[in-house]
Chain A
Amino acid sequence: MNTKKPVYPYIPNSVPEVKAEMLCSVGASSMDELYADIPANLRFKGRLNLPDRLISEAELIRHVDGLLNKNRSTRETLSFLGAGCYQHQVPAVCDEINSRGEFLTAYAGDPYEDHGRFQALFEYESMMAELLNMDVVNVPNYDCFQASATALRMAARITGRSIVLVPVNISYDKFSKVKEYLEPDIAIERIPFDPKSGLLDLDILKTLLSEQIAAVYFENPSYLGLLETQADKISQLAHNVGAISVVSVDPLSLGVIRPPVEYGADIVCGDIQTLGVHMQYGGGNGGFIASNDDPKTVMEFPSRLFGVAPTIVEGEYGFGDVAYERTSFALREEGKEWVGTAAALWGITAGVYLALMGPQGMVEIGESIMQRCCYAMKKIAAFPNLKVTFNHTPHFNEFVVNFDKVGKTAREVNKALLDQDIFGGKDLSEEFPALGQSILFCVSEIHSQVDIDRLVSILKEVVK
């Protein structure tokens, strides 16, 4: 065994001579003296049982490659998976900017030394504001689950009420997070959906509304890919009882889909993964919350809000935190939640993405996604045994296909697709038993006609 004292490239003062010199200068004869405050019975005896060290980068690369090469990525395999994580074109400049060390390794500096970070995030907020047609957008929080949960808590604080209405057809995972987060202060009641159209059942919604309702929450597009054509009515119904309309959207759709504020939404939330962030096995989420510039609402944001202000020199843009001391208070819930390390780098990335796409790009991508999605639906619906469950409702990006008539389970269908080197869609049979054996397919701007035709032809084989 090599008994030479190791040197660590990441630890400059581990050089033995330097270490000794520093021990001397702090007047300690050994490291144990520096740990004197830790009682002996709490000291860990011996060495941690960890794998042997890989001292060189070459070995590390080899080791990690060896692991990750066991993965098959969507760059190698055609994939129609969506359901909360989406494959879109990620421009190279997005990756270039979010790998710059100045952005990657900065953290919580003040607006003078980290002027760039403040400006980049202010610009992100501003570009999102154009998509959303609202004046206030937060610095990103963790993800859309958190954004939805927080938006609902905000609504409860603003109205002083403690029940929210949430659709049945949202992701089970999202519901689980929201439910946990709203406990114990806020109760949730579910709004069922119409089995034919997949849209919210307004008749039942009306019966659920009362002066105790803080918010009505819905998603557009919904988890099942449907565009909620009754959006204005839903907001109207909420407003009629003084409740807040909270809508969760895919910002990528807003080049062609109307901004929710225009159909009555008061608070809008969602995820920015679709704006230039790689999927990363589900690790690329970032949440946003937006509202109008009403002080009462602004005061309820638990996130940071970066704003612009003049400096003592003419023509300079200065930045800082808006309404840093949130001065409103809601009975029984003073906790404005917390702000932590969330997803700022994805916010900067989303800004880069939106600047690269521009107005035309956002229109084109919305159109392209809808066209391709529609095309896939049409081709699949042409088969007698396959049912595109909500065929008559407009869709964005995703759609449900039902396999009950075929007599195969969703799982079997996906397996068959996998055998043909295709990642199918999300199996919905456990999450939504009412939809039977169904799969949620996702089609975006990166799926060519050839890709879609291939899916269709293989499905055709599978269901014979």
Chain B
Amino acid sequence: MKPISPKPSPRRFHQASWDEPVIFELSQPGQRGVLLPPVEAGIEQEVGNPARTLPDQLRRTVPPALPEMAQVHVLRHYDRISQENLGVDLNIDIGQGTCTMKYSPKINDQLARTHKLTELHPLQDISTVQGILEVMYHLEEMLKEISGMDRFSLQPGAGGSAIYANVCMMRAYHNSRSEGKQRNEVITTIFSHPSNAAAAKVAGYKVITLYPDSNGYPDLEALKAAVSDRTAGLLITNPEDTGIFNPKIAEFTRIVHEAGGLCCYDQANVNGILGITRAREAGFDMCHFNLHKSFSTPHGCGGPGAGACGVTEKLFPFLPVPTTEFDGQKYYLNYNRPKSIGKIRPFYGVTANILRAYAWIMSLGADGLREVAEIAVLNNNYLLKKVLEIRGVSAPYAKGKRRIEQVRYSWEQLTQETGVHSEEMEIRVTDFGMHYWTSHHPFVVPEPMTLEPTESYSKADMDEYVAVLKQISNEAYTNPEIIKTAPHNSTVHRTYQEPFDNPNEWAVTWRAYQRKTGQKKV
């Protein structure tokens, strides 16, 4: 026989497509997926069935109309729709810029599923949970070293929550010095993550946003115009979402300190600078990390993540309660913290992710973290070079300079020449089993695309991604229709968008959908 032809590039991907109904349509009356321990006769004799004798205003009379399914059918349904999903495990996920989609090692998942973690109750006597407390303590030590901060809280559920905690501590700090009312402004930049501005607003601050200078760096002169005795602090991401490191970052913190404000470092983009540069030396009073970004814990379709906020000694009194301490003999939780901002969430943090992050750092060590950063940056600059070879794309700002761990590109030229928009190309990319993300709003960079390769991908992976982009660029110039009618190889085809905005049509639930489409309830 002749050899089989080699695989073409890009590959002829097609997403799994089961044409799977919505789960309610799979219901079969009488089926059960799982059973419960039966109530013993002795209990029944003593107390009867209290649920049946509840007062009317509390008793449910009609069981909830959930689907009735045998166990294997539930499993099969969810397994099938899981196949209609792309994750880092499956796909070269470098297109989710700012998300740091790196490999989440399976060994860490396994370690987190032991009953010695999953079946712990948070209120158990501390003598019975020394192991997990030790893990939390050690992770804190590691993050202290990585950032240079003095203390950490691992309580926040993710990045936004960590930023919010930092902002609350900022507020508590100024209140403690009777400057809380006066200092009602927070400064951020347009390329920092929007959670910074949003958290500050929820906490009651006025938000001042700085736009970049002509080179794409945060504008130092604008900062000088923005600070005053009303400044509570600076919330800034660095490198910013454009992948550009602000070389004047220490100037920024100095200026804000001089004005009496605090400096808070959003380190969502720390992946390229682990072990290279730290929050402390840049002059920051506070910082936060996303364990589900830089520290490999999986993203879970949108959570749970885990956030960690770090502070210098002067802010330690305000850290959320409890903190994890060691008295020389045992680990314990310290609730005796009168100035603390209180609790951010129930209990102590997303423990499974705390363990995963801990295990990840343990399996890499200092040299490994350094390698993570260096390869993330090397990969990004390699990708930058390859992407810029594609027709119609550019990388605005910092011309000729290196980027750190991601780049925000612009398809402006391609759009001018072909009329195809970045958001349309975003859909076409899914036809190749890939993803790309544009940018947060508003689009300061026109027709944006933000890519972040991280250290998890090989040269071949990136070449494959670039080949897809190149293909789509060519299509824009020669066959834009195929882009405008995408997707073609996905689980479903182009979805009508109008129902999502029309109150008469939108349906957040199956029952709403049935009601609004005039169907009888099953």
Contact = CB atoms under 8 A, between A and B. Distances in A.
A280 B120 contact: yes
A401 to B, nearest CB: 16
Nearest to A442: B121
B326 interface: no
Contact of B375 (A11, A81, A130): A11
A310 interface: yes
Interface string A165-209: 000000001101101110111000000000000000000000000
A119 B245 CA distance: 39
B402 A37 contact: yes
B51 A370 contact: yes
Interface in A95-149: 95-117, 119-123, 125-131, 133, 135-137, 139-140, 142-146
A352 interface: yes
Contacts of A309: 495-500, 505, 507
Interface stretch (B226-234, B409-417, B475-483, B484-492): B484-492
Interface string A360-398: 111111111011101100110000000000000010000
Nearest to B380: A34
A357 B39 contact: no
Interface string B488-517: 001111111111110101111111110100
A435 interface: no
B301 interface: yes
Given A102-B89, A108-B302, A144 B346 contact: yes
A48 interface: yes
Given A38-B273, A42-B277, A110-B435, A355 B245 contact: no
Contacts of A74: 119-121, 124
A10 B509 CA distance: 40
A64 B359 contact: yes
Nearest to B358: A64
Given A52-B365, A119-B22, A112 B34 contact: no
A217 interface: no
A414 interface: yes
A177 B345 contact: yes
A103 B493 contact: no
Given A106-B301, A125-B509, A341-B299, A67 B134 contact: yes
A460 interface: no
Contacts of B113: 95, 99
Nearest to A101: B89
Contacts of A143: 157, 345-346
A127 B157 contact: no
Given A323-B506, A423-B121, A19 B375 contact: yes
Interface string A229-265: 1011000000000000000000000111111000100
B201 to A, nearest CB: 3
Contact of B47 (A19, A35, A374, A446): A374
A19 B378 contact: yes
A312 B496 contact: yes
Most B-side CB within 10 Å, residue of A67, A100, A143, A281: A281
Contacts of A69: 116, 131
A76 B348 CA distance: 22
Contact of B82 (A28, A67, A103, A146): A103
Contacts of A312: 493-496
A14 B370 CA distance: 11
B132 A71 contact: yes
A120 B85 CA distance: 10
A43 B402 contact: no
B58 interface: yes
Interface in B104-160: 104-105, 107, 109, 111, 113-125, 127-132, 134-135, 138, 142, 145-146, 157-160
A2 B204 CA distance: 55
Most A-side CB within 10 Å, residue of B130, B132, B370: B132
Contact of B427 (A47, A55, A112): A112
Contacts of A106: 85-88, 299-301
Contacts of B355: 64
Interface string A292-332: 01010010000001111111110111111111110000000
A112 B185 CA distance: 41
A396 to B, nearest CB: 9
Contact of A360 (B63, B86, B117): B63
B23 interface: yes
Contact of B116 (A71, A127, A140): A71
Interface string B188-201: 00000011001101
Interface string A415-434: 10010000100100000000
A57 B107 contact: yes
Contacts of A75: 115, 119
A338 B199 contact: yes
A89 interface: yes
A379 B199 CA distance: 50
Contacts, number: 711
Nearest to B122: A282
A31 B21 CA distance: 52
A50 B361 contact: yes
A13 B378 contact: yes
Given A12-B458, A53-B365, A231 B58 contact: yes
A60 interface: yes
Nearest to A304: B302
A356 interface: yes
Contact of A448 (B37, B115, B374): B37
A121 B82 CA distance: 11
Contacts of B303: 140, 142, 286, 340-346
B101 to A, nearest CB: 6
Interface in B212-265: 244-245, 247, 249-250
Contact of A345 (B49, B300, B375, B381): B300
B299 A67 contact: no
Most B-side CB within 10 Å, residue of A39, A48, A185, A344: A48
Most A-side CB within 10 Å, residue of B160, B398, B427: B160
A70 B456 contact: no
Contact of A34 (B15, B341, B343, B402): B402
B444 interface: no
B68 A282 contact: no
Nearest to B499: A309
A259 B21 CA distance: 27
A354 interface: yes
B369 A48 contact: yes
B385 A99 contact: no
Given A10-B103, A324-B500, A371-B50, A68 B34 contact: no
Contacts of A325: 501
A11 B128 contact: no
A194 B39 CA distance: 33
Contact of B32 (A231, A354, A358, A366): A358
A173 B117 CA distance: 23
Most A-side CB within 10 Å, residue of B123, B203, B277, B508: B508
A93 interface: yes
A446 B68 contact: no
Nearest to A83: B123
Interface stretch (B1-9, B73-81, B308-316, B466-474): B73-81
Given A10-B103, A257-B58, A367-B49, 19 more contacts: A11-B372, A50-B146, A71-B120, A73-B119, A97-B82, A104-B104, A128-B509, A142-B303, A177-B345, A293-B508, A339-B160, A342-B305, A344-B303, A345-B303, A355-B67, A358-B66, A359-B68, A394-B50, A426-B123
Of all A-B residue pairs in the complex, the 8 with the closest CB atoms, nearest first, are: A282-B347, A53-B365, A318-B495, A282-B122, A356-B33, A340-B160, A344-B302, A101-B89
25 contacts: A11-B456, A22-B382, A33-B402, A53-B367, A60-B111, A60-B363, A64-B135, A68-B114, A70-B131, A84-B346, A112-B487, A113-B433, A115-B492, A125-B508, A129-B508, A136-B509, A229-B58, A257-B60, A280-B120, A315-B19, A340-B159, A340-B160, A344-B302, A354-B66, A423-B128
